[in-house]
A = this chain, B = another copy of it.
């Protein structure tokens, strides 16, 4: 098969300090669709155009950050094979039973060298996607409720040992490197973008002393004009915007970043290169990081490198 192994980012579970505020933000400002609450109080969301039950889970906690980031794999036998491959490579794997999350099958959880919990699963129940599987319309009213991204797209994680994480993702999980930034030494990779598909990034890492940190979860929009609209909506709602609208040199995508009420950074973006595993990764030197980050201004936004949750 052409698409095998890990298919795509499936869901992110975030910690939020005030759940009601977070639900209002992700539901009405970002414009995701709430699909349920579980017994432990977690709130589940999906993007209007996603077919599975959830792609974002919010858990009330004392501090912001990411609990885990999960990928959907092709099927159950793939899940078993990957679990076994991970164990063989010495990765400690934990099983999370079906039902621990709403609508989600059993998950395989492991910690990667950057201190983040990654999960794999094969099953998630479909969400209602009314009328969109037969003679669908190009969009529904939900596509204009808040920013209304098409899907949860990827995450950028900050932590130590990103090159060990690179090994794990490429050698065991079948990802490939699409772009990277070298540190001032000109050799060591300090920031990595990885894909399991033709997307420019399904996950990304930046070297950082503290383990397990979230830089952002990213949501896909349709067009550069929708980035402008996202900026309007964020401002109308007094959401702190860190950067953008602008274009990243890295990945070539267009973007705007802000912070949820708990201080978790999010991105809404569009565009960007499509990548294939037979292509060499694109290299960025440390000196050109400013143009990689904010191409028009060639500016290194200081908070972008330092503020994480």
Contact = CB atoms under 8 A, between A and B. Distances in A.
A301 to B, nearest CB: 11
Contact of A244 (B75, B274, B296): B296
A173 interface: yes
Copies of this chain, count: 4
Nearest to A277: B3
A231 B295 contact: yes
A175 B137 CA distance: 25
Contacts of A296: 228, 231-232, 234-235, 241, 244-245, 256
B196 A3 contact: yes
B246 A231 contact: yes
A292 B247 CA distance: 22
Interface in A245-276: 245-247, 249, 252, 254, 256, 271, 274, 276
Most buried by B among A151, A238, A274: A274
A137 B296 CA distance: 11
Interface stretch (A60-68, A103-111, A281-289): A281-289
A192 B150 CA distance: 24
Interface stretch (A4-12, A19-27, A36-44, A89-97): A4-12
Nearest to A231: B296
Contact of A4 (B4, B134, B231, B236): B4
Contacts of A254: 228
A235 B295 contact: yes
Contacts of A213: none
B247 A134 contact: no
B138 A295 contact: yes
Nearest to A243: B297
A225 interface: yes
Nearest to A122: B278
A174 B1 contact: yes
Contact of A276 (B5, B8, B284): B8
A249 B2 contact: no
28 contacts: A1-B4, A1-B5, A1-B277, A2-B3, A2-B174, A2-B175, A3-B4, A3-B176, A3-B196, A3-B198, A132-B282, A133-B282, A134-B282, A134-B283, A135-B249, A135-B284, A135-B288, A136-B249, A137-B235, A138-B295, A223-B223, A224-B228, A231-B295, A234-B296, A235-B295, A238-B298, A245-B246, A245-B296
